[in-house]
Amino acid sequence: SEGAGIEVARNAADTVKRVTQELGGKSALIVLDDEQFAENVGKGVAGMMMNSGQTCSATTRLLVPKARMAEAIEAGKAAIAGVTVGDPNGEFSMGPVVSKAQFNSIQQYIEKGIEEGATLVAGGTGRPEGLDKGWYVKPTLFANATNDMTIAREEIFGPVQVIIGYDDLDDAIRIANDSEYGLAGGVYGADLKTCQNVARRMRTGWVSINDGFDFNCPFGGYKKSGNGREWGEFGFHEYLEIKGMLGFVPAAE
């Protein structure tokens, strides 16, 4: 978390220790306006629920064209219906969250989203039907959210996603970048060149285009999402110091 990361950095300062941190995120997934729109919204909603939403890079802000908000709501609702919740030892796609404290925090965020006027598409407060104990959270989807709402600003770290409408791609990129965090992000669309152009303009350390993934790609954040990188060649750089030797003549080849 951001708070824990700040304390680590403070404790490292007295002895000038190097600190590499991967902290929080409020990542945006921009869905382009094309023939794959409904399918991509469904993928974006279902994918965010992985690990009960307890993923630092989870794309908790789903950005869609305002003109297709109703279509996005229907696609998102269908995706949520396919997320089954229960004992992870069984045949379920989503288990509980990590603790009672986290469960209670998520419930407060869901209540806040309702209070702030976002449209509750699926889920809500309380446990899923048939689960009377355990820290199980309903997979929850809000729509018609705005980027100034608490549920769009703060990291919830649970299965809660918000759909935000954009006017055009410039507006989508502006919304995506309007965050204190910059850990990850994504772009879904049929036109790869457009996806790449959008990804380049997103102020975040990791952007996945159409679910692209590679452990050799450096992972880490901008802004309050931390500093330094993991994975690939760049991950080694955090453990190295550069040494300069002046007046040294290398042996002739």
Number of Cβ atoms within 10 Å of the Cβ of 109: 19
Beta-sheet pairing, 185-188 with 140-145:
unpaired
- Is residue 205 included in any domain, yes or no? yes
Mean pLDDT of 244-250: 83
195 tagged catalytic: no
What is the total count of domains within the chain?
A: 1
Catalytic residue among 56, 111, 115, 154: 56
Q: Any alpha helices (H) in the chain, and if so which ranges?
A: 2-13, 37-48, 69-81, 100-115, 150-153, 169-177, 192-201, 232-237
Q: State yes or no: is 22 an active-site residue.
A: yes
How do residues 22-72 score in pLDDT, each as one tens digit? 999 999 999 999 999 999 999 999 999 999 999 999 999 999 999 999 999
Dist CA 83 CA 85 (whole Å): 7
pLDDT at 229: 92
Residues spanned by the domain of 119: 24-211+219-237
Check: CB of residue 52 under 8 Å from CB of residue 139.
Answer: no
Q: pTM of the entire structure? A: 0.92
In a domain, 248, yes or no: no
Is residue 71 situated within a structural domain?
yes
Query: What's the CA angle centered on 235, arms 183 and 213, to 5 degrees?
Result: 55
Residue 16 lies in a domain: no
The two three-digit tokens of residue 90, written as one number: 């069984």
Confirm whether 132 is domain-assigned: yes
Q: Percentage of residues in the chain with pLDDT exceeding 90?
A: 83
CATH value at residue 35: 3.40.309.10
Q: Is residue 6 part of a domain?
A: no
- Of 37-41, 73-77, 129-133, the one with minimum mean pLDDT is 129-133
Question: Quick check: is 11 in a domain?
Answer: no
pLDDT digits (tens, 9 = 90+) for 144-168: 999 999 999 999 999 999 999 999 9
- Tell whether 246 is covered by a domain: no
